[in-house]
Chains A and B, each alone.
Chain A
Amino acid sequence: MKLAVPMKVETGPSVVRRTSVREIAIKIVSEYSFVLSFILLVIIAATVNHNFFSWANISNIFVQSCVIGLIALGMSMVISAGQIDISVGSQVAFIGGFGVLVLNATGSVMAMLLFTAGTGILLGLINGLLVTKGGMPSIIATLAMMGAARSIINHFGSGGPFTVDRAYYDTFRQIASGGVNVFGLSIPYFMIIFIVATVVFDVVMKHTRLGKHIYAVGSNEVSARLSGVNVDVVKATTFVITGLMCGIAALLYASRTTAVAASSAATMFELDAIAAVAIGGTAMTGGRGKIFGTFLGVLMFKIISNILTAADVSTFLTGAFSSAIIVIAVLLQNFQNRKR
């Protein structure tokens, strides 16, 4: 076949060739920068705190991370689909408050779990329907949910705490304080829950149709629709799953604090969860992200706040630090994208 126009000389990635060490290094820096920052942070923390690598400290970090961690995993899904959920803190307070009432009434942790999980799914479904069927931007739909859930729980609790009855106090508290003994190491339940949840989310996002579709919707809704993806179902599912995670997190939160204060429980959790997702390298515009990144992001977040506590920084300032983390992480992402 003779062509009048010279064939384009193929250059760049279309030619099969070996990847150089330099390229691999660049790839690691750009795609796994969260691992590098995690290692850096651990080094800093270890120099500040000489007990950093003690099992007590490590397991404690996991225990402190678990509640935010579960929420952040859901948030990763929502953000990967190009959405946002700022109602998670209020959802935890709402579900946790009523969950304590259910526990006090029935005395059964299982009944409480059914209630918190079910309510979480319901709140998530409302968010999802407002966004898909209602055609609302997710920040508006979940802003409304944030206000409504907090206000209702405040009304029923008159702003005060929902306290676990003395009768169930000790058994219920076991969830947060207890653990499994393996070769003399006490592994807290919270640590197991967080790690198992991370593995489940990682598998879902990497190896299931739902996971692939979430990234597809977050990357390009039109293409996704033209490839047969039911965009509305995918978006709504991410909110439902986040609601479910808030439900489970609410139970764990109640177990840890044994009292859910209507007006102050889980405040600013949305900020912390989004910050963890951001430092984990998930694109805030959707389409790209790693569950393992979020996992490390949550841990980094706790390590930073522990360093701050050790340095006697006022707890009132944690919000400022979380916000700074979000801004820096997203600026770095933008900087990386511009280089590509």
Chain B
Amino acid sequence: MKDIVVDFGPVRAVDHVSIAIEPGEIVGLLGENGAGKSTLMNVLAGAITPTHGEVVIDGSPKTLSNAKVAGRLGIRFIHQELNLCNDLKVFENMFLGEELRRPTRLLDTATMITRCREALGRMRADIDPEAVVGTLQAAEKQLVECAKALLFESELIIMDEPSTALTNEETAELFETMRALKKDGVSFIYISHKMPELFEICERYYVLRDGALVAEGAFADVNENSITELMIGRQLAHDVFDDHTDHTKSEVLVKAEKLSGAGFEDVNFELHAGEVIAITGLQGSGRDQLADALFGALPFSGTLTVKGRRVRSGSNVRSFMRRGVAMVPRMRKERGIHNDLSILDNHNMAYTNARSRTPWVSRPAALRRYERQRKALSIKANNPADPITSLSGGNQQKIIIGKWLEAKADVLLLDNPTQGIDVGTKFEIYHLILDLARREKAIVVFSAEPPEIRKVADICLVMFKGRVNAVLERDQITERNLLFYSTGANLRGN
């Protein structure tokens, strides 16, 4: 790939990047979230047409207009999200769009099943080609996704975080297969946040930062520390959040002991009034599930105590709300707001559930509560009867935070609270979090953004594969440490 530039409107996602891959080579592509890795790979896979630059394959420039063209040239992309249809069988998924047909134009099911079984066999995955994908475990689905790339003759296979759901043994099998293919001259681009894996399987690396290629070289010449620094780049300029005051009081509001559930294990922490705990971890580290469990939306085992009283798994969200626990959900559009409802109705939702004792909803009272929060949180809104979608993302988020404050919540779980919010409002939300801590609210921020964690957290729990890998005190919270522990770099060789 030569001098690739990709612009999304005014945003430059990829900035004059050139990379070269030899036959039979495994290359690691590194960078933080949003560094442009996926965009660059989508160019190679034909999903995005670059604004500038060209892709040269075997010496001649090629136009990769769509994924099919790329596929014909031997380029396969194994996506990070599982792109499988749950209701179809394994072999139907693997051949989707490229079904084999007999001369009569009818499907050649027998051959497809045989070839599918061969591909799965090469991965040493014990999966029935005729099983329905929906019945498979997440790890098995990921193996199916990988096996898809083996079905057809490939020259270059791009793997975007293929191991997130795999166990260590399964990852080892995957690497075994990759090495075998490599001997046949197949090349790989391997994207991962997991340092131990990168060092094990890849020979060379490319590091992207803010869309630009900032470093390349051989893994043999670097270690986890130096490559982490390369990904972060220069230390970010000091900002107003650096004179951090810890408002932590002695009163324990939430206590989690040996908390386990689907996706997370043995999580322990104490949350005090006025304290801000950040919980971070990569995609698939169990962070999301832990957030939902702490609000009663997912079952868990272990002991969870809120204000001295034990809450049981399986008790519903409302009983958590009544104890003063609030949740600002991740993916605001899908899980946080009601598109069809007005600003006022969205704002009033928590109060009517947690506090109101009558079946009636009083509009004047709801308006009073809304006005109070609108002023306190400086929400920019015109008419409370307007649909919530008329507000910017940041103001929508403030409406959600405000609705919990009116419900008298004093434990706030903020799950990725600045997702899809412009930078200016992000800072307002950070100040709001600190302000709430000053007012002795206990806050848990689930976040994957190191700068954000640095700004607000007193303590940070770093999760890796469902467990708390490190507990960082305020002065230990650095971008380097966050990345180091969330990629499990400290566990290498153990």
Chains A and B belong together in one complex: yes
Which residues of A sit under 8 angstroms from B350, Cβ to Cβ? 227-228
Residues in B whose Cβ lies below 8 Å from that of A219:
338-341
Stretch at the interface among B78-86, B254-262, B314-322: B314-322
Check: A15 CB closer than 8 A to any chain B CB: yes
* Chain A 276-295 per-residue mask, 1 if CB under 8 angstroms from chain B, else 0: 00000001001110000000
Q: B197 at interface (Cβ–Cβ under 8 A)?
A: no
> Which one of A2-10, A131-139, A153-161, A250-258 is at the interface?
A2-10
Distance in angstroms between the alpha carbons of A216 and B422 in the assembled complex: 27
B-contact 0/1 string along A68-91, CB 8 Å cutoff? 000000000000000000000000
Decide if B341 touches A287 in the complex (CB within 8 Å): yes
> Which residues on B sit within 8 Å (CB–CB) of A4?
237
Known: A207-B360, A218-B340. A226 touches B317 (CB 8 A): yes
Given A10-B380, A207-B360: A283 in contact with B237 (beta carbons within 8 A): no
Proximity bits, A179-216, B CB within 8 Å = 1, else 0: 00000000000000000000000000001111110011
Segment 50-83 of B: residues with Cβ below 8 Å from A: none
Whether B341 lies near A209 (C-beta < 8 A) is: no
Say yes or no: B349 contacts A14, CB within 8 Å.
no
B424 A228 Cβ-Cβ under 8 A: no
Residue of A nearest to B354 (CB): A228
How far does the Cβ of A207 sit from chain B's closest Cβ, in whole Å? 6
Chain A residue nearest to B353 in the complex (CB): A228
Is A17 interfacial (CB-CB < 8 Å)?
yes
Does A208 lie within 8 Å of B360, measured CB to CB? yes
Please tell me if the beta carbons of A228 and B317 are within 8 angstroms of each other in the complex: yes
Min distance, Cβ A125 to any Cβ of chain B, angstroms:
20
Residues of B within 8 A of A19 (CB): 383
A324 at the interface (CB under 8 A from B): no
Whether A223 pairs with B338 at a CB distance below 8 angstroms is yes
A222 CB contact (under 8 Å) in B335, B340, B380, B391: B335
Interface string of B283-310 (1 = CB under 8 A from A): 0000000000001010000000000000
A271 at interface by CB-CB < 8 Å: no
Q: Which residues of A contact B395 (CB under 8 A)?
A: 14
B410 within 8 Å of A (CB atoms): no
Which chain B residues border A209 with CB–CB below 8 Å?
352-353, 356, 359-361
Query: Provided the pairs A3-B427, A5-B423, A215-B345 are in contact, do residues A207 and B382 lie with their beta carbons within 8 angstroms?
Result: no
Q: Are A223 and B391 in contact (CB under 8 A)?
A: no
- The answer to whether A8 and B424 touch across the interface, beta carbons within 8 angstroms, is yes
A15 engages B340 (CB within 8 Å): no
Docked CA distance A333–B427 (Å): 39
- Per the bound structure, the CA–CA distance linking A216 and B334 in Å amounts to 13
Please name all residues of chain B whose beta carbon is closer than 8 Å to the beta carbon of A3 when the two chains form the complex. 423-424, 427
Residues from chain A with a CB closer than 8 A to the CB of B349 are 212, 216, 224, 227, 229
Known contacts A15-B382, A209-B360; is-contact A224 B338 (Cβ 8 Å): yes
Contact B335 A212 (CB under 8 A): no
Contact with B340, one of A14, A211, A288 (Cβ below 8 angstroms): A288
A223 near B352: Cβ-Cβ < 8 Å: no
Complex-state Cα separation, A339 to B380, whole angstroms: 24
A212 touches B345 (CB 8 A): yes
Min Cβ gap A201→B in Å is: 15
Nearest A residue (CB) for B317:
A228
B453 CB to closest chain A CB, in angstroms?
19
The residue that A225 contacts in the complex, of B297, B381, B424, with Cβ under 8 A, is B297
Assuming A12-B390, A14-B381, A287-B338, is B329 touching A223 (CB within 8 A)?
yes
B360 and A14 form a contact (CB under 8 A): no
**Chain A CB within 8 A of B271 CB:** no
**A1–B353 CB distance below 8 A:** no
Contacts A220-B338, A222-B334, A227-B350 supplied; 13 other A-B pairs, CB < 8 Å: A8-B392, A12-B390, A13-B381, A17-B382, A19-B383, A207-B363, A212-B361, A215-B345, A222-B335, A225-B317, A227-B403, A228-B316, A230-B318
Find A215's partner among B341, B422, B423, B425 (CB 8 Å cutoff): B341
Assembled-state Cα–Cα distance A288/B340 (Å) = 6
Does B231 sit within 8 A of A, measured CB to CB? Answer: no
Q: Which of B335, B363, B383 contacts A223 (CB 8 A)?
A: B335
A21-B140 Cα distance, complex, nearest whole Å: 60
Cα separation A225 to B298 with both chains bound (whole Å) = 12
Query: A1-35: which residues lie under 8 A (CB-CB) from chain B?
Result: 1, 3-5, 7-8, 10, 12-17, 19
Q: How far is the CB of B370 from chain A (nearest CB, A)?
A: 14
Contact between B360 and A223, CB atoms less than 8 A apart: no
Contact A7 to B424, CB < 8 A, known contacts A12-B390, A15-B380, A227-B350: yes
Binding site for B on A (CB under 8 A): 1, 3-5, 7-8, 10, 12-17, 19, 207-212, 215-216, 218-220, 222-230, 283, 286-288
**Does B337 make an interface contact (CB < 8 A)?**
yes
Roughly how many angstroms separate A288 CA and B341 CA in the complex, as a whole number?
A: 7
Give the residues in chain B near A228, CB-CB below 8 Å: 316-318, 321, 350, 353-354
Binary A-proximity of B91-129 (CB < 8 A = 1, otherwise 0): 000000000000000000000000000000000000000
Q: How far is the CA of A1 from the CA of B423 in the complex (A)?
A: 13
B24 near A: Cβ within 8 Å?
A: no
Given contacts A208-B361, A226-B335, A287-B338, contact A13 B353 (CB under 8 A): no
Chain B: minimal CB distance from A31 (Å): 11
Give the nearest-CB partner of A217 in chain B: B338
B392 in contact with A14 (CB, 8 Å): yes
Provide 22 A-B residue pairs closer than 8 Å at the C-beta atoms, listed in order of the A residue: A8-B425, A13-B381, A13-B382, A14-B380, A14-B381, A16-B382, A17-B382, A209-B353, A209-B359, A209-B360, A216-B341, A219-B338, A220-B335, A220-B338, A223-B329, A224-B349, A226-B295, A226-B329, A226-B336, A227-B349, A287-B338, A287-B339
**Chain A residues near B329 (CB-CB < 8 A):** 222-223, 226
Which residues of chain A are within 8 angstroms of B390 by Cβ–Cβ distance?
12-13
Closest to B379 in A: A14
A290 to B20, CA, bound (A): 61
Chain B: which residue is nearest A288 at the CB level? B340
B240 within 8 A of A: yes
Identity of the chain B residue whose Cβ is nearest the Cβ of A12 in the assembled complex: B390
Q: Which residues of A contact B423 (CB under 8 A)?
A: 3, 5
Which residues of chain B are within 8 angstroms of A229 by Cβ–Cβ distance?
349, 353
Query: What residues of chain A lie closer than 8 Å to B403, measured between beta carbons?
Result: 227
Residues of the B chain whose Cβ atoms lie less than 8 Å from the Cβ of A8:
392, 422, 424-425
**Complex Cα spacing A227 to B350, Å:** 6
Any A CB within 8 A of the CB of B348: yes
**Chain B nearest Cβ from A306, distance in angstroms:** 34
The 5 closest A-B pairs by CB, nearest first: A287-B340, A228-B353, A14-B380, A219-B340, A219-B338
Check if B251 is an interface residue, CB within 8 A of chain A: no
Asked whether any CB of chain A lies closer than 8 Å to the CB of B35, the reply is no
Question: Which B residues touch A207, using CB under 8 A?
Answer: 360-363
Residues of A within 8 A of B341 (CB): 215-216, 219, 287
Complex Cα gap A229–B321 (Å)? 11
Does B327 touch A at the CB level, under 8 Å? yes
CA A184 to CA B135, docked complex, whole Å: 71
How distant is A135 from chain B, measured CB to nearest CB, in Å?
A: 15
Residues from chain B with a CB closer than 8 A to the CB of A13 are 381-383, 386, 390-391
Residues of B near A16 (CB, < 8 A) are 382
